[in-house]
Structure formats: C-alpha cells, structure tokens
Structure 1
C-alpha cells in the first residue's frame, strides 16, 4: 500500500528457491528461519509448525513489527498500527484473541520467557493462537486502540478494531461486514478449506473477489508472473484442461466398440431401447442378464432375437448389467 517500511517474509526450508526469488523480486526481505516444534500432542495435523510464528517476538533488529498471516490482504494503509502499544491484536468470538494480525514490540527477554512457557501453558487450539491467549491471559480487558487518540503512558496491550482484521468467516454469517466496508484495512480469510488462492472459492465466498482483484493487478517481477501467474503452473493448467476431453473420448470409444472392434450400431441400440420401453409399459418382466463369470461367452444376450425378427447385437459388457 505504498509503505516505505521494510517488508519482511520469514521462510522455512519448505519454501522453494523459485518462491524466494519471486518474493525478493517483489521487494520483500526474505529471512530464513528454522521451525519450532509444536509441544502439544493433541492438535490438528496442519498445526505441526505453527509455533514458529512466535519468532516474530525475537525480531530485535526492528523496534516494532506489524505481523500479517499469509491469508490476509491489506486493502488500505495500516501505517498507523506502528503507533500501537507493545502488543496489539484483535478479539474474535467475544473473548478469544486472533493471532492473524498483530503488532509486536520485539524483545529477546520476552521471547525467552515465551520459550520457557511453551511446554506449560495450555493452548485451546493446539497451536500458537491458543498459547498466546494463555500467555496474554488478561488481553480481553485491554482498551481498543484509537489511532487518533494515543495513550500516555503506552499500555502493555491494546485491542485492534475489526477494521484491521475483518474475518471472512463472520462475514458469511450475515452476508455483510460488521463494520463500514469502505473503512476496511485488512481482510482475513479465516475459513480453513476456502482459501482465496484456490480459484473455485470465488464462487462460494464473495470477499475472495477482493483478493483476486489485487492478484490480477500485480506487475511482472519475474518473467511470466504478471497478474499473479506462475509460468511453472501453466503446463499443469493445460493438462488439467485437456484431461477431461481425453477421458471423454476414451469413454466414447470404449462404449462404441465391441471387443472385436465392431462399431455398435445406433439402430440396434434404438431397437433395444424401444423393446425395453414396450416391455415396461406392458408390465412384462424384462430379461435378466447373466453376470456369472468374466469371459464374454458367459453373457447370453449378445445375439438375442427380438419379436420383430431382428437380431440384437450388443457388446459383451452389456451382459454385466442386471436389468429387472
């Protein structure tokens, strides 16, 4: 949003070299970090490395850090967050603090204290958010941060308005934002299986359009990356686009040819359909086809004679369908 402050991305070994180069080309400072183990035995599988987020409290090269989850998008300047207190976050579900958007004043002493308590403090989520709710046990009683009315002395903790952490999950409950949409600063896509980078979520979650608009307007920082595209994914997209047509063709030829490669006559198929309809209407029992064995000789209907005197020629696999 036109900021002059450092844009820092913390990446672990799981991030590819290409992604790192793309981040650097986009102007980010990429810092490699090692993962912190999750001490909780009972936790969602996807939470195995989330305690790594606590390392932002140890970024002591900066006086203050505004942290954003990867599933957030900034839609308006958030420069005023740097005037917030030592620790600021947003409340969700009445008394629970959400760790998707935070303002942190890094401290080596604070970080060491957290590391000493990760094994003893409970986590209601099994992840970092639950731990931080235990660590900042009185956070729900914090005053709401007002950028136009700074507090002196600066409080230890302050609550952020929903404008700085607009929850898409809460949006879906009422099909609208709980605050003035024109004043939104950060949108947080909290729904687990409906992340905005999955293109199909736009059909289900209206705010995904905001994310997609930002993505499509991205400039080309590396060859083929304009509009948020990844040239390495283009081949995969083409294959996925062509694959259904190939499957359709295979299915068509598989249904049209017998084992001896004879083309199934459309006239014969229509005759079979007319005969079945006639028998159904006259309440006569339809023929029951044998399903015993796998050899084509075990199906006794390949040359059944119709009442018209015509011979019905069907492929052998039709006999595997029992019609009653």
Structure 2
C-alpha cells in the first residue's frame, strides 16, 4: 500500500514535469515568433534630419500599413527629438556609430557605414530601409516579398542604398564588417561598399511582387533582386528631364537626392516641383517643437543676413519716401507704427 502511494506520487510528478515542459515551450513560442516580424527602418544621426523622419513616418502611416516603424538613432540625436519620434509611432532604437575606414572620403561620411547595422536587425524577418529624405506616396508592403537583398539601380550599373529590402542575418553582418577595410568603395561611403559587396547586382532579376511568392515556394530565394524606379524615384533625374521617367500615377517612393537641396528647406519648392508633395505632408507634422529643433540646427540662419538686408532696404525706402515725398501720411503712419511695434518687441 505504501509502495503504491509512492508510485502514484511519482506518476503525478512525472505528469507535472511534462505539463511544465509543455507550458514553457508554449510560453517561449512568442519569442521565436518575433523573427517573423517585419518593419520599415530609417537612420538618424542628428537633429538636423528630424523633420525628414517625421514626414517619412507620416507618409508610411498614411498607407495604412500594419508593419512596425523603427528609427535607429545615434548619440547625436537629442532626447527631445526622440520623444517626438516616439509620439509619431516610431520605435526609437539607440545605436553606436560604425567608423568609416576610408581615409579619402567627404567629411560628412564619417559615420555612414552605420547603415550596415540594418543587416543585423535579427529581431525582424525582413526590413525595408528608407533614407530620411524619402517619402512613401503609395503602399509598399509588397516589398516585404523581396528576396534576401533588393535595391534600385541608379547611374548606370550602380545600386542606390537609399531604398533597400534586407533579410537580416548576424552571419551576413559580421561578414560585411570583416570586409569594410578591404573592399573598395567608389563613394568613400556605405553605398560604394555595398556595390562592391554585391558584385554583379546589375545583372540580378527585376523584382516582381506578383510572382515572388510563387518563386519563394518553388525555388531558392534569390540573393539579389533589382527594384523598379517606382520604388526609388530620383528627384535629381526628374530635374534633368522635368518629368518622371516612369508613370507618375504608379510612383511608390520619392527620393530627394539633390545634396543640400532638401525638401525641408522651404526655398527648394521654388526650384523643384516634386517638393510640393513632401511639403503637403510636412504641414500635418510641423509644430513648434520641430521648428525649435530646425532653428537650433541652423536651417534658418544661412538666410538671416539676406533677410536683414531686405528688411533694411525696405525700411530705408519707406523712410525716404515718408520724409522727402508726398507719400500718403496714412501709409507712413502705419509703417512707423509697424516699425515701432516690432522694433521694441520683435
């Protein structure tokens, strides 16, 4: 009888162990499931591009996507800017910069190799990377059907790293990092490195979202695929031809590539028609907080001397006519009141 009781106790313990093991497996499942997540990703090195990231985020949200949005931020991004981005729906992820190993390069390219860290975002099955000077004008969730690496060709046979689809892998990332000092970069930055790393990219097949699912299920996943210009429409090329090289109604992503002529600088809308599209979205996110960051980073100050000159000439002309001509006294009185008001309080 006593032995029987012990046997029953042992049986109960065995059952409990089995149940506990099964429970742990069930609890662990969501952790492995995280590798099935997909996300849109961008990079931010400092506050200067905060407005760009905010507009990009709004453009992505407007497409009604269900994917996460992740912004990788370096130490140069202020805590205040991070709060703004979190309020916009971005997952703010701090990262350290990867130093550019190239001695001959533009000064502004010091930390651009940091972009390689998107290849190490192994919490996600697939990520769509977008530069902070891009906007999404139509849903691009179909890009998550891309293979292991997808990008767009620019300037003949070279790929542009401003829009990429990446299947993250720690092994791939480590291999890239091990080669940054040995592989040639024609730009002195990440884009040149990636062109060398993905040799033969210009011969890769063109990505077609209609057949990608079938290909993935029946054949090996392609190492590289080329994206249509629809997914990375270059404003620089638009400027040369004064029109898009593809059907404007089918555009997915616009990329404002013209160096210092960024869409958040208000005067660029006078030069480039596509900036209007960006600035329409800007009006919905522009607030006092963003303007404060924008001013602190000097986007306003380059024009300050010109503005002072214009206001000075304006004041001189009115003063001259008011003092030495028969200009309407009502207009002069109004101007003097304006000058007094803003001279004391402006």
TM-score (norm: length of structure 2): 0.67
Distance across 2 between alignment mates of 1:82 and 1:118: 27
User: Counterpart of 2:270?
Assistant: 203
Q: Give the deviation of 1:243 after TM superposition.
A: 4.2
Distance across 2 between alignment mates of 1:80 and 1:175: 29
Q: Which runs of 5+ in 2 are unaligned?
A: 1-62, 326-346
**Equivalent residue in structure 2 for 1:230, among 291, 296, 319:** 291
Distance across 2 between alignment mates of 1:49 and 1:69: 14
Q: Give the deviation of 1:246 after TM superposition.
A: 6.2
Q: Which runs of 5+ in 1 are unaligned?
A: 257-264, 268-324
**Equivalent residue in structure 2 for 1:213, among 265, 270, 280:** 280
Give a deviation string over 1:278-303, Cα, whole Å, max 9, x none. Answer: xxxxxxxxxxxxxxxxxxxxxxxxxx
Alignment coverage as a number of residue pairs: 252
**Equivalent residue in structure 1 for 2:236, among 137, 160, 169:** 169
User: Counterpart of 1:187?
Assistant: 254
**Equivalent residue in structure 2 for 1:51, among 107, 113, 116:** 113
3-state secondary structure, aligned to 2:150? strand
User: Counterpart of 1:111?
Assistant: 173
3-state secondary structure, aligned to 1:116? helix
RMSD (Å), alpha carbons: 2.8
Q: Give the deviation of 1:230 after TM superposition.
A: 2.6
Distance across 2 between alignment mates of 1:37 and 1:17: 23
| Structure number with bigger Rg | 1
Q: Give the deviation of 1:245 after TM superposition.
A: 6.7
The structure whose residues are more often helix, as a share, is: 2
After TM superposition, list the pairs within 5 Å mapping 1:272-287 onto structure 2: none
Distance across 2 between alignment mates of 1:233 and 1:162: 31
Distance across 1 between alignment mates of 2:293 and 2:196: 43
TM-score (norm: length of structure 1): 0.71
User: Counterpart of 1:17?
Assistant: 79
